[in-house]
């Protein structure tokens, strides 16, 4: 079964088969978004990337989730 493992900027909220949802998490100040983003789980050795600006400290944070 596919599995998404965040390496930075995200925390997995739910995972259901090939779909997962995650919350943005700022690695600089630790702030976490209250809303979730739903995306497809990346395949093995593939990478989902995104980025956001932290509302709290304005850090430009990269999101990276690796498929296993």
Dist CA 56 CA 68 (whole Å)? 31
Q: Is 20 helix (H, G, I), strand (E, B) or coil?
A: strand
Looking at 10, 20, 54, 63, which residue binds Zn ion (CB under 5 A)? Answer: 54
CB nearer to Zn ion: give 21 or 59: 59
Dist CA 39 CA 4 (whole Å)? 10
Q: Which of residues 5-44 bind Zn ion (CB under 5 A)?
A: 26, 28-29, 31
For 25-59, strand residue ranges (E) read 37-40, 47-53
CB nearer to Zn ion: give 5 or 55: 55
Binding residues for Zn ion, rule: CB under 5 A, are 26, 28-29, 31, 54, 56-57, 59
């Amino acid at each position: 079964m596919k599995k998404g493992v965040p390496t930075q900027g995200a925390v997995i909220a739910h995972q259901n088969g090939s779909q997962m949802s995650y919350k943005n998490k700022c690695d600089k100040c630790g702030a976490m978004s209250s809303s979730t983003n739903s995306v497809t789980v990346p395949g093995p050795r593939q990478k989902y990337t995104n980025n956001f600006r932290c509302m709290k400290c304005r850090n430009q944070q990269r999101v990276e989730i690796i498929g296993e």
